């Protein structure tokens, strides 16, 4: 846990393509579940980067950009795949938290997962391995709330 003399640290996430990430701060008054969520989020990026390093999941699409649920600006295919993968892991995390989950975050993650999944399935040029990966994500099985 991070701390200062005043007991406050702010969270700024960073994830590197080399497999490390840093969490710089969190309001210590916020629920510990929020810090844990940040760790799940960033470690999910690392996990997917590890998969992508050895298993091509996307075909060349000529640099096409895609609308995504989390960003206003269109993203490349790998960015949308990352969103889907991270959101799926966050929804799994929220389900494990049960009654300790933050309801607003559960609902938002679920809505974003459904939207990202629909776009990935309809638009991304997935390899066979990419289709297999995406098939493991079933947004309709995610509980609506904890």
pLDDT tens-digit map of 4-47: 333 333 334 444 455 555 555 555 566 777 788 888 998 999 99
pLDDT of residue 7: 35
Residues 6+ apart with CB under 8 A from 118: none
What distance lies between CA 94 and its chain's CA centroid? 12
Q: Are 115 and 102 in contact (CB under 8 A)?
A: no
- Nearest to residue 27, comparing CAs of 61, 1, 62? 1
Q: Cα–Cα distance between 38 and 26 in angstroms, integer?
A: 10
For residues 117-131, average pLDDT: 97
Write down the pTM of the prediction: 0.80
Please report the pLDDT score of residue 56 as a whole number.
96
Tokens, residue 13: 């996430």
pLDDT of residue 142: 73
Which of the two residues, 97 and 34, has the higher pLDDT score? 97
């Amino acid at each position: 846990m991070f701390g200062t003399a005043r007991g406050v640290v702010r969270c700024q996430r960073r994830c590197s393509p080399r497999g490390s990430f840093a969490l710089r701060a969190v309001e210590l008054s916020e629920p510990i579940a929020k810090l844990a969520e940040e760790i799940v989020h960033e470690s999910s990026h690392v996990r997917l980067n590890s998969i992508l390093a050895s298993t091509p999941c996307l075909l060349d699409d000529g640099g096409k950009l895609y609308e995504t649920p989390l960003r206003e600006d269109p993203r490349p295919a790998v960015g949308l795949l990352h969103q889907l993968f991270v959101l799926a892991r966050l929804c799994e995390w929220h389900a494990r938290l049960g009654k300790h989950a933050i309801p607003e975050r559960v609902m938002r993650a679920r809505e974003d997962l459904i939207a990202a999944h629909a776009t990935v399935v309809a638009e991304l040029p997935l390899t066979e391995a990419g289709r297999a990966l995406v098939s493991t994500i079933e947004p309709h099985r995610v509980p609506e709330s904890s």
